[in-house]
Structure 1
């Protein structure tokens, strides 16, 4: 499983590889960055992952682990460790539209060992990846370290600079991978900028207390949409609203409560105590880079393509980017410095599923924002799922494994 030792590899490749601090430096300790770091470390490569925060404990992040990602964890021998952590499984995604129940996505027919979407706090998932990667001697994780710039030599990016707990940080690498998210400063420093379409929706996140065995439908709709995630001792709510409809004022809060009461009177009553400071805004962006790379640097995950939260598929796509990057670039890094043609192979492999997914997400924005009276007809996509239940298997495949799943085999 492991590649040859560093000494043997450097001896073979001394004509094409210069002395560096690490084979790969990955900026961003999210799902894409840590998964790629783990996969490359398994090959015996030297990998440094840089995370700007001191830990992974941040709220209101994507917590969905899709069936295809769980299949990957099984390939890595990590599935039992994953399932030993607190989690909840969902075999189908259901929606309540003014009391009309229907299935949006059915995972029961997927060609995966686990045919469920699993909810797990992202910090637990990231901790699993980090602790697994740290078992390999070539892996290191630098926390509380912010990268501000790239290092160039003869027109090629050869490293990054920034600030860590002990002062300036300067790391040289054969490859820099930007997995730092949709607000990446590294991407800007490399001269890359995304293009996209204006999203018509934003998402409000907030918590509500849980009273004993109280339950809510997972998705409720009819005046926008509300998703309720049961966290055991509280509910985490995601409320879809029109883009630009939230400035954090008391009037905005009142309008939010009115929408929630139209979706679910009980949910609206539970949210009546909230203050504007309790509500967190996620501005939805649908954008991607025209080119994911420059000489010496590759972008993956949200840094390459910011996704809508619809379906929770952004994490799945980011992890699939990491798997493709490992499969294509791992063997290259074992023998030589990756060239732009190598980085272009990763982009070509992954850009098609991104384009398809973003096109579908754009089409979903209208139904997600749809608002109507209790006796109004269902929006057309929901009527199709109600009248043709087998269509939920198709949506289940799209959400559960994606347009182009990536595995190690």
Structure 2
């Protein structure tokens, strides 16, 4: 049976643009092309759910592209989507952000006028999207009771993502990340359980379990890992417990692990409401030797206030700013200014979400201490980490900058 050619669906109020699109796309790849000059026609068409790619113009009179994004989200559309517009690149970037918030799969934004080179880049992005390994389906959900019970059955396990020295490209640290070892579904991302645990106030137990797994791993391999720094996330909600420093210190001392090798990462998007009790807890963490990091910097609402009032040692630049910062002027400006602030405050800097060489080059030139991201390493099991660490110690990188 012959394989059906991919269906490319375009929505644009200009018949001239639709004709041009059909001509340009057909020269890139054999396909079936359908053009709609009105968004309402596309929304009512069954082909919209069968398309391999949807091209959407943002400037239309009857129903504009912003409203179309909302309508496509209501249809639970999962097809890859490319945005077209005669507006400037900032408008397209903001529209892409809105689409992502709607849960749509944006693979490209194209400024008009169209060209062969722009469509070639679009086709490359579509190929990359189709080659990406299928993740767990977004429509999978787990009952709150199952998520919480899994915590007390000790089904959550520690995965490790290495942090690399920007100068030597050697592993100098690791972040402990939670994964659910589900009895039927295997390894489950925190996307499916962390918000439930947070809203039910069970993250303190998760932190305790992950820290125990981390220090036990260190204790077993202490000769090999004696110089590594281990980071673990704590929720801002946990800072309401004034005995938390003693609890976490006890876990470390029971395994004879120096608290100075543990960095506690506080997610900045979790706004600290009670600064007095939070500062009480954080200062006692410092007295007990723990290091403190402000995670996801710039994504919350009180960044400067927290830097000014709380005793952080490290600042992590969020992946949403790092990824693509070399080619996006707005992201680059945020990353550069954040590094300047951190340097002036004497904070170490970690850049997370580094995936491209161009972004890596920018980050290194800004004096960032350590790098975390898929460019070097993905999160892995304890066994896999030991293998990576041994290999990394022996390798001399040829692309050092």
TM-score w.r.t. length of structure 2: 0.22
Higher share of residues assigned strand: 1
Larger Rg: 2
Greater share of helix residues, 1 or 2? 2
In the superposition, the TM-score normalised over structure 1's length comes to 0.22
Structure possessing the higher relative contact order (Cα contacts under 8 Å, 6 or more residues apart): 1
